[in-house]
Structure formats: C-alpha cells, structure tokens
Amino acid sequence: MGGSISSLSVFAAAVEDSLLPGLLFNVREHSKNFKPEDMQVQIEGKNCIVTGANSGIGYATAEGLASRGANVYMVCDISSISDVKSFASRFSSKDVPIHVLVNNAGLLENKRLITSEGYEMNFAVNVLGTYTLTQLMLPLLEKAAPDARVITVSSGGMYTVPLMEDLQFSGDKFDGVVQYARNKRVQVALTEKWADMYKDKGIGFYSMHPGWAETPGVATSLPSFSKSLSGKLRTSEEGADTVIWLALQPKEKLVSGGFYFDRAEASKHLPFAGTKGSHAAIDSIDDTLKTLSVYSHNYSSSFRVVEMEV
C-alpha cells in the first residue's frame, strides 16, 4: 500500500529539502529554547474535546491535558457527518463550556474510498468532519470566552500544494498523498478564516504541524516512509507537545489564525512555492463546506465518546 511514485517523490523531497529538516525532525534542537514553566500550567476543571484520540498524537494530547486537570472528551471517528451532528446535539444538551477543541482526527487513505454519505474518505475526515464539528461547537466555545480556543492539527505536507476548490479529488488517477496534503492546506486556510470571522467572540483559532511522528497512522498510510525513517521520527508525545502548549498558553502570547510548530509561529508558505495567493479561494470553499455539512442526513448513531480520567 502506498501513494504513487510521483506523489511520494514530492513528499520525500519536502522532507529532504534543506529548508525543512528542522521543521520535520529536530525537536531536540528546538527544545533547547523551550521554557519548562510553559507546560506547568494547570487547567483544572476545563473541558476539552480531542478528536482522533484513540491512538498516536490524539491520545498523547488527551493524556497530557487530563494530567493537567482538564475534563477530556475523546472522540475517535468523525468520518460520518451525521454522527458528528448527533454527537454535537447530545453534547450540547450538557450546556457546558468548551475551553479547548483539538481537531486532531486525520486520515491518509491511499485508495479512493467513498463514505456511506457519498464523500471521499480523506476529505470526510480531514476537512468536512473537522469543519462540521467546529461549527457546531461554536456556541459552547463562546461559553468559555475569552479563553476558548480551537487547535487544528495540520501537517507539513501542506507546504507542497496550494489551496484548491477541488475538495474531493475529481481526477481519474486518485492520489491519496496529494489529497492528504490538499486537505491539510484547507485546514490552515480555514483556521485563518475562522480567526477573522470570530475575532470578536473570544475564541482563538490555531493550526499547527506536529512534526513527522512515529504513529500507527503514519505506519499504516506511509509504510515505506515510516520504515526508511525509523528511529528518526518523533514520538507521539513529541508530536503532541505543541498542541498541549497551545492549549495552555495565555492567549495574548498567541496569534489567532497562526500556524505553529515547536511552540513558535511558523510560515504557512515556502518561498517560491506559489501557494500564498491560493488562500483567496477559502471563501468559496467555506460556502461549499457549509452546504455539504447541512445536506448530510441524520440517522441513528453509534458514535462513541470517552471521557478520560487520570
């Protein structure tokens, strides 16, 4: 299982590019500038939702937040928009503030798979599910204002592609690696859009790159990549570090709409990559996502949410 030769070549080139080695691997070098006190903050009693929390970076994030006193609700799968709506409806009935929403759930499926609702699988998880959950959680996030925040786990893979309105990869020759990169670019642009739309609501929006971590998802989706870099990739805990850091810091230290890596704001575009102007398409994409989110049908759900205790 794997992406096409061309897409994996682009992926590898991004990894090996002299502009990116620190961005991808060098957490130990960057950590020399980390302040230990930043991670000693306690968030006793705050409510956090973490998607994709059954393993890898999501589980490490949930564990890290719970260990600092948060009530953590672990959501494992957001591929069904109807299930996301069902969860949001049930959770909203609790009428509790949400202080932190971590959009971590992610998928890199190399084959073109279509969900029961008719959406390309990568898009359903990485973009539409994330979009729908975030929109539906806004009233509860507003209850936690001015300290509410949404943290979306993107990927350095997005550096290789511009923002595109072809959200479900309409081409005949499907490429899961490219689709994943496109999805992650959408997440970064959506974060900018949300930050602007809700700047007066007391909610901060942040996207981040965790670095390439040795997680079950990477091993399954990119086996050759994972094997060739065995021992060089980050641990799940290292990948989760900046997610937790973003959840703990005073908002005045952060830039809403910003893209973060290793506890610092990072560029969203590589020089000469031609991706910056593409973000103008986000308004049209937002309209499309809104329509698709509303259109998805509800049905009896078996959606599972687990509250983490430590």
User: In one letter, which amino acid is 16?
Assistant: E
Using CA atoms, how far residue 153 sits from 1, 239, 283, in Å, is 24, 10, 21
Sign of CA dihedral 219, 76, 177, 28: negative
Give the SS3 label for residue 92: helix
Give the SS3 label for residue 250: coil
Instruction: Count CB neighbours of 91 within 10 A.
Output: 20
Of 59, 180, 206, 260, which one is the catalytic site residue? 180
**Contact yes or no for 303/87 (Cβ under 8 A):** yes
17 CB-contact burial (10 Å; exposed 0-12 / middle 13-18 / buried 19+):
middle
CA nearest neighbour of 83 among 118, 122, 121, 117: 117
**Contact yes or no for 203/141 (Cβ under 8 A):** yes
Q: How many CA atoms lie within 13 A of 282 on its CB side?
A: 23
Distance of CA 25 to the CA centre of its chain: 19
User: Can you spell out the DSSP letters for 135-200?
Assistant: HHHHHHHHHTTTSEEEEEE--GGGGGS---S-TT--SSS--HHHHHHHHHHHHHHHHHHHHHHTTT
User: In one letter, which amino acid is 290?
Assistant: K
Please indicate whether residue 180 is annotated as part of the active site: yes
Per-residue tokens: 185 = 């670019």
Per-residue tokens: 142 = 């507003």
Q: Please name the residue that has the structure tokens 């949400």.
A: 98
Residues marked as catalytic: 180
